A and B are shown apart, each in its own frame.
Chain A
Amino acid sequence: GAVVSQHPSRVICKSGTSVKIECRSLDFQATTMFWYRQFPKQSLMLMATSNEGSKATYEQGVEKDKFLINHASLTLSTLTVTSAHPEDSSFYICSARDTGTGGYYGYTFGSGTRLTVV
């Protein structure tokens, strides 16, 4: 089955620094990947859609200059949290879309990254 690897699983950084999170589709090519943010005891909130070879599409209210997304290849998308602040501390999850079967797309999620900004 489709596998998505997300790295790192946990990161602690100082306020004001930047953090990069990688999302890789290991056994399939993904022209489209997604980045989500999840707060405790809440469901996933879509931040942006990452498109290979083009600019990401951000959801309303998400700062594109703070959350930089790069999707330079068919198997890798990165999310960089720039000038991180404590309020950016959260659980970030990526998802990659494959061609799926049965006439609908398959969505495989990474294992998530716990970001703590101190």
Chain B
Amino acid sequence: KNQVEQSPQSLIILEGKNCTLQCNYTVSPFSNLRWYKQDTGRGPVSLTIMTFSENTKSNGRYTATLDADTKQSSLHITASQLSDSASYICVVSEGAAGNKLTFGGGTRVLVKP
């Protein structure tokens, strides 16, 4: 069964600090991996999309990495801000067309001043 596991489930960090979120997947065949940010009571917003051949991709203070061999991805948040408090969801697309999404359970991040 295709699965996407995220860790930790939640974390608290101090403003200005860095943190790294993990995503392990068993989805096959793999098409691409996406990281979304979801603020409370809002829909997810895309942060990064990576295909098989991409190892890293940045979007401002967010940097995602992908190791397709070990089927692992990480999302690194640099110099966290209060507005980074949200859930971060790892989503893996399956198949040649990438038209089937498998969602991870998300990591809830709380940034404290």
Residues in chain A within 8 A of chain B (CB atoms): 4, 6, 32, 41-44, 46, 91, 93, 95, 97, 102-112, 114
Contacts and interface: CB of A to CB of B under 8 A. Distances in A.
B51 A110 contact: no
Contacts of B31: 104
B98 A104 contact: yes
23 contacts: A6-B43, A32-B99, A43-B103, A91-B41, A93-B43, A93-B44, A95-B43, A97-B99, A104-B51, A104-B93, A104-B98, A105-B93, A105-B97, A105-B98, A106-B46, A107-B34, A108-B46, A109-B36, A109-B45, A110-B43, A111-B43, A112-B41, A112-B43
B51 A109 contact: no
Interface of B is mostly: strand
Interface of A is mostly: strand
Given A104-B98, A109-B44, A112-B43, A43 B106 contact: yes
A97 B32 CA distance: 15
Contacts of B1: none
Contacts, number: 50
Contacts of A6: 43
A43 to B, nearest CB: 5
